[in-house]
A = this chain, B = another copy of it.
């Protein structure tokens, strides 16, 4: 190949960095409170768990930081005393950048000598009534995704700027708590009669609510041990009975079964409503209970995406943007995204959100995952001021990888590299989180008073095309499309074929060959229905669902030897 690997790439890095910094962003995952999006004092900035946990870890007692009733100025004063121990961290770097970008700060450290001036000056700026919009504009940010509790009424803010996202951790992992049951009943308006049916209806009502308010994604964070599997209705009803009777004291197996049932149901609803399901995989909550608020969670890096095998196979139409907590899982994420059409790479999360991990993880993705399946970054910010420095950290690394590997090693032009940067920074966010089909107001209502038809599908999810807006360029490929309608994200990543595909046989069975499914429709999947007799036949071979000896739940095991191994290797 022509490119010399040794040319000076300084100029390419700069050019690319400047170009991608000019892209107006949509931040696809934050914890911003839309009613209080910007900070009001430096205490909002320094109170971010990254600073409190690091300063605590470096030696400051928790109670100095979390003293009840402490005033903002006093908190900042105390925090400043601890900052000297964390000046090396990427998080401190964000802090200085915020102060320089937004508060006219010119020093390179916050010290006992300068903090009070900074506090006063920043407080004055933040007091501006349009501070949030100022920050958005100065950060070149068009919109941010939120993280909304399932019972959020989603009112009182502009959902074009603050885009709702249904966060489901409580529903999946805490439904045994009376408080969560009560909240669900109250917000959905659907009485809990103890049946799975009413539970399903309440969950579905939440989707109707969120989608009608402009939600673009469903999301959840998941511990390393979780393995999604379908749970039969009988088993699930038993588990639900147990949980409703005993609450958090219920048999752990029952609580776990209910978790899996709710999770699976959410995936079905994402399928029905056309919502991507953001999975954030790997966190153990409360590992250090003596830590500061939000600074108690850690993880076991021994997690594998093989645990999600059944999910990815069962829901080919649901897009799963996936974040992994530990960089050691990044190669699995790359490989699964490389193979599964519905698995997408999503940002650099939490403990992997520091430069060296971003660098290696981003480089691995950029060279191996289809470019239309990579969501480069999200800020995860709690306050708007953090969007800029976090994205800027990513942009600098992205520019480095694009310049070094694509311009330098691959011989790309800077323009081509910038285009790739644009796609992972913004273009894919637009494509992947497109607004789902609007709720059809004239649709018939189900027995719970919710619309029975969504996104061209019936509420049992068995119907029709996913793509709400076929592009003009799309061809008439009716023959093929009849049989490929359930082929995952095919329509979403429309291949703009400019021709007619010759008619192909319409006999689905012939076409699918040994992949011909048998049996009645299964929830969430047309291509791999689970037959009534418990057989799953993706290969035309019997791949038996096996009941768990402890719980009676059905699953199919990782099946390593079934296929004649003529693949790679």
- Collect the chain B residues with CB atoms within 8 Å of residue A490's CB: 59-61
Q: Cα distance A477–B60 when bound, in Å?
A: 12
B64–A300 touching, CB < 8 Å: no
Q: Does A81 contact B (CB under 8 A)?
A: yes
Q: Nearest 9 A-B pairs (CB), nearest first?
A: A59-B493, A6-B10, A289-B538, A223-B560, A58-B370, A61-B484, A61-B487, A221-B569, A285-B563
Q: Cα distance A357–B365 when bound, in Å?
A: 11
A49–B568 touching, CB < 8 Å: yes
A289–B57 touching, CB < 8 Å: no
A360–B356 touching, CB < 8 Å: yes
**A and B contact pairs by CB, cutoff 8 A, 26 listed:** A6-B11, A53-B339, A54-B338, A54-B370, A57-B370, A58-B371, A59-B493, A61-B488, A64-B477, A64-B480, A108-B411, A174-B564, A226-B560, A287-B309, A288-B340, A295-B339, A298-B306, A299-B335, A326-B332, A328-B328, A338-B351, A349-B568, A349-B569, A354-B364, A355-B405, A380-B568
Q: Cα distance A452–B158 when bound, in Å?
A: 68
B59–A290 touching, CB < 8 Å: no
Q: Does A553 contact B (CB under 8 A)?
A: no
Query: Shortest Cβ distance from A200 into chain B, in angstroms?
Result: 22
Q: Does A372 contact B (CB under 8 A)?
A: yes
Q: Which of B290, B363, B567 contacts A515 (CB 8 A)?
A: B290
Q: Does A336 contact B (CB under 8 A)?
A: yes
Q: Does A127 contact B (CB under 8 A)?
A: no
Copies in the complex: 3
Query: Shortest Cβ distance from A337 into chain B, in angstroms?
Result: 7
Query: Shortest Cβ distance from A350 into chain B, in angstroms?
Result: 5
Q: Does A551 contact B (CB under 8 A)?
A: no
Interface centre among A8, A316, A493 (most CB of B within 10 A): A493
Q: Does A169 contact B (CB under 8 A)?
A: yes
A372–B58 touching, CB < 8 Å: yes
Q: Does A1 contact B (CB under 8 A)?
A: yes
B297–A568 touching, CB < 8 Å: yes
Q: Does A210 contact B (CB under 8 A)?
A: no
Q: Cα distance A328–B333 when bound, in Å?
A: 13
Chain A residues 482 to 500 lying within 8 A of chain B, measured CB to CB, are 483-484, 487-499
B296–A339 touching, CB < 8 Å: yes
Query: Shortest Cβ distance from A470 into chain B, in angstroms?
Result: 14
A484–B64 touching, CB < 8 Å: yes
Tally of A interface residues using CB under 8 Å: 165
Q: Which of B4, B68, B341 contacts A14 (CB 8 A)?
A: B4
- Collect the chain B residues with CB atoms within 8 Å of residue A67's CB: 480, 501, 504, 511
Q: Cα distance A221–B563 when bound, in Å?
A: 12
Interface centre among A17, A396, A487 (most CB of B within 10 A): A487
Chain A residues 522 to 569 lying within 8 A of chain B, measured CB to CB, are 527-528, 538-539, 543, 558-569
Q: Cα distance A169–B564 when bound, in Å?
A: 8
Q: Does A434 contact B (CB under 8 A)?
A: no
Q: Cα distance A499–B87 when bound, in Å?
A: 22
B494–A78 touching, CB < 8 Å: no
Query: Shortest Cβ distance from A361 into chain B, in angstroms?
Result: 9
Chain A residues 34 to 93 lying within 8 A of chain B, measured CB to CB, are 49, 53-64, 67-68, 77-78, 81-82, 85-90, 93
Q: Cα distance A409–B93 when bound, in Å?
A: 11
Q: Does A141 contact B (CB under 8 A)?
A: no
B339–A283 touching, CB < 8 Å: no
- Collect the chain B residues with CB atoms within 8 Å of residue A86's CB: 370-371
Q: Cα distance A132–B396 when bound, in Å?
A: 46
Q: Does A232 contact B (CB under 8 A)?
A: no
Query: Shortest Cβ distance from A401 into chain B, in angstroms?
Result: 9
Q: Cα distance A300–B352 when bound, in Å?
A: 20
A286 and B82 in contact (CB under 8 A), knowing A4-B10, A341-B59? no
Q: Which of B53, B300, B367 contacts A88 (CB 8 A)?
A: B367
Q: Does A9 contact B (CB under 8 A)?
A: yes
Q: Which of B291, B338, B489 contacts A53 (CB 8 A)?
A: B338
Q: Does A400 contact B (CB under 8 A)?
A: yes
- Collect the chain B residues with CB atoms within 8 Å of residue A562's CB: 285-286
Q: Does A373 contact B (CB under 8 A)?
A: yes
A332 and B299 in contact (CB under 8 A), knowing A285-B560, A290-B515? yes
Q: Cα distance A63–B527 when bound, in Å?
A: 12
B565–A169 touching, CB < 8 Å: yes
Closest to A493 in B: B59
Chain A residues 281 to 313 lying within 8 A of chain B, measured CB to CB, are 283-291, 294-302, 304-306, 309, 312-313
- Collect the chain B residues with CB atoms within 8 Å of residue A563's CB: 285-286, 296-297
